[in-house]
């Protein structure tokens, strides 16, 4: 798969950039990895998804442990989300190969842009206040364990199905529905992502949707990037961090849309 130094360097840089991005914004390496793997490396979307999940797994472990060291992790949702999310992610992998590539890519891009623009324009606080004024989430807040089970199952399945790291979705749920502060939401979701994306990567590996040499090289870059990104995120003001996440998500989503027509 990797036949020259340029591709090797590109994969390392992609892994590095993915690590920084996810470590800061609690997103997914998929936004970086899948375009590079499908367009530059020439892999099909299904093997790219499996490989991207593995990179997210590495980033979730490294960045999550750094947030844990800083005291920005809540263990209860980590374990509950991990158990139900991991099982659902493994199941989700069984449906990936039967879904058209264009649909998968388009779905991923739309999700990134919608959430990105909301955070960029309104920041975290205004978004939370607006959503709470329109929807009553008291039931979810009063039944957090059941909420973790429900959301963990849904997000886990979506992660295994699309190859999107579950961290970003969990972060948004923890902030907007369950009332967590940004830093704790990011740290908790990153550590949880290690388990869910790991399960998804294993599921894809069993059906041959994994590129070992690509994962090895990009993974080394991801380790460095995840450590750097998470250290930066722990030092940024909450609202500024939210808007930074919005900028990154929007840019990646637009790039993904453009790639659909190239």
Q: What is the pLDDT of residue 91?
A: 86
**Contact (Cβ atoms closer than 8 angstroms) between residue 185 and residue 54:** no
Q: Which residues, at least 6 apart from 230, have a Cβ–Cβ distance to it below 8 Å? A: 23, 24, 62, 63, 64, 66, 67, 190
Above 90 in pLDDT, residue 66? Answer: yes
pTM: 0.75
Alpha helices in 143-211 (DSSP H): 144-162, 167-176, 182-206
Q: What is the pLDDT of residue 226?
A: 94
Percent of the chain with pLDDT over 70: 84
Above 90 in pLDDT, residue 141? Answer: no
Q: Is 63 exposed, middle or buried (0-12, 13-18, 19+ CB in 10 A)?
A: buried
How far from the centroid of its chain's Cα atoms is residue 177's Cα?
18
Please report which helix (H) or strand (E) contains residue 241, including its range.
helix 238-260
Mean pLDDT of 229-235: 88
Percent of the chain with pLDDT over 90: 15
> What pLDDT digit, counting tens, does each position of 92-102 carry?
777 765 556 56
80: left (phi over 0), alpha (psi -120 to 50) or beta: alpha
User: 84 or 241, which is more confident?
Assistant: 84
Task: Please provide the DSSP assignment of 56-109 as one string.
Answer: HHHHHHHHHHHHHHTT---HHHHHHHHHHHHHHHHHHHHHHTTS-HHHHHHHHH
Dist. CA 167–CA 47, nearest whole Å:
21
Phi first, then psi, for residue 178 (nearest 5°) are: -105, -5
Tokens of residue 27, six digits? 């997103």
Above 80 in pLDDT, residue 258? Answer: no
Asked which of 40-44, 108-112, 250-254 is least confident by mean pLDDT, the reply is 108-112
Highest mean pLDDT among 34-48, 158-172, 195-209, 232-246: 195-209
Above 80 in pLDDT, residue 60? Answer: yes
**Contact (Cβ atoms closer than 8 angstroms) between residue 93 and residue 163:** no
> What pLDDT digit, counting tens, does each position of 143-201 carry?
888 988 898 888 888 777 766 656 777 887 888 788 888 889 889 989 888 888 888 88
Q: What is the pLDDT of residue 122?
A: 67
**Confidence tier at 69 by pLDDT (50, 70, 90):** very high
How does the average pLDDT of the chain come out, rounded? 81
Tokens of residue 118, six digits? 């909301």
74: left (phi over 0), alpha (psi -120 to 50) or beta: beta
Domain locations in the chain as residue ranges: 5-260
Dist. CA 144–CA 24, nearest whole Å:
26
Q: What is the pLDDT of residue 218?
A: 93
Above 60 in pLDDT, residue 1? Answer: no
User: 129 or 186, which is more confident?
Assistant: 186
């Amino acid at each position: 798969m990797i036949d020259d130094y340029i591709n090797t360097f590109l994969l390392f840089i992609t892994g590095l950039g993915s690590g920084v991005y996810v470590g800061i914004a609690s997103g997914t390496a998929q936004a970086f990895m899948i375009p590079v793997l499908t367009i530059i490396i020439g892999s099909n979307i299904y093997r790219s998804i499996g490989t991207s999940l593995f990179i997210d797994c590495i980033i979730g472990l490294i960045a999550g442990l750094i947030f844990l060291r800083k005291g920005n992790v809540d263990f209860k949702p980590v374990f509950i989300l991990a158990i139900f999310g991991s099982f659902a992610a493994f199941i989700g992998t069984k449906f990936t190969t039967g879904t058209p590539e264009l649909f998968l890519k388009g779905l991923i891009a739309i999700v990134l842009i919608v959430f990105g623009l909301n955070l960029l324009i309104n920041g975290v606080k205004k978004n939370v206040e607006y959503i709470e004024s329109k929807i009553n989430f008291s039931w979810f807040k009063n039944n957090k364990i059941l909420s973790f089970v429900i959301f963990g199952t849904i997000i886990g399945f979506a992660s295994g199905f699309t190859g999107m790291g579950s961290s970003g979705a969990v972060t948004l749920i923890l902030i907007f529905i369950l009332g967590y502060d940004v830093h704790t939401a990011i740290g908790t979701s990153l550590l949880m992502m290690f388990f869910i994306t790991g399960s998804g990567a294993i599921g894809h590996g069993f059906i041959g949707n994994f590129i070992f040499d690509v994962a090895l090289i990009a993974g080394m870059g991801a380790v460095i990037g995840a450590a750097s990104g998470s250290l930066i995120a722990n030092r940024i003001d909450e609202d500024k961090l939210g808007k930074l996440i919005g900028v990154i998500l929007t840019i990646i989503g637009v790039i993904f849309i453009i790639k659909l027509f190239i």
